Structure 1
């Protein structure tokens, strides 16, 4: 029986999701990042726990549990309100954090700010995809 369990263990673990994607506020080698982590507790469950890990070293490092949702439907928009205030939005749910003092606000204030990008599944991995900013040419009259 033990041999069967050992042989089946890789199959059971293969279906689980446990990955993350990061946005680096001060470039790829900086110390200021927002990371979304998604993890399934059990291979038979479609739900995954979604967490935010915010860091602005050496002053801020904090993990915040956001929600649970199906692993393949984790799509979270990241908005910047300036002054290290960030808003995360997934459907009707929103969260607002501030990385200056490592705080999560009880209520979301304002519209969230400028869209920076989206955390989402891409095939078998989880990625951060930066928003495309289009510039509108000035009228030349």
Structure 2
């Protein structure tokens, strides 16, 4: 009987083990942003599922699945222009746009025209997903990107 009462308490850490974290890269002064969502099912998992939300409110907002990656993966954000954004996660590249928020695709290689200036990176810091802006010398003014935490 005591075992039946203790079993739920022993399972509690497993039930609360899921980690769902979000961090935003705000673009310009309005509600224009890219938000990375990182879901790790159990703290001991070495992988997490990633998705990106492109938003330019009130006109559009859309979530795109990036898929699984390392639990500590860094996702860099580049600005080639025209409301397009290149995301680099390890060797994988994606392009997402915030004009209509519909466009999203995996790239096989870097664009011939270049990646554009590095805006910063989504990364884990002290167990929390955070957007870290690029140093001022590398940060672009294309698109008027600013960062707010």
Unaligned regions of 5+ residues in structure 1, if any? 136-141
Matched, 1:118 2:121: yes
Tell me how large the CA RMSD over aligned residues is. 2.1
3-state SS, counterpart of residue 81 of structure 1? strand
Matches within 5 A, 1:126-137: 126-134=129-137
Distance apart, 1:10 and its partner CA = 3.7
Distance apart, 1:14 and its partner CA = 4.8
What's the CA shift string for 1:12-71, capped at 9, x where partnerless? 2454321011100014xx310101110023455322101101100122211111121222
Quote the Cα distance in structure 1 between the aligned partners of 2:24 and 2:4.
40
Structure number with the bigger relative contact order (C-alpha 8 A, sep ≥ 6) is 2
TM-score by length of 1: 0.82
Unaligned regions of 5+ residues in structure 2, if any? 139-149
Q: How many residues align?
A: 132
Aligned to 1:86: 85
Matches within 5 A, 1:99-110: 99-102=98-101, 103-105=103-105, 107=107, 109=111, 110=113
Matches within 5 A, 1:1-141: 3-27=5-29, 30-71=30-71, 73-102=72-101, 103-105=103-105, 107=107, 109=111, 110-134=113-137
TM-score by length of 2: 0.78
CA contact 1:13–1:43 (8 Å) conserved in 2 = no
Range moving further from structure 2, 121-130 or 40-49: 40-49
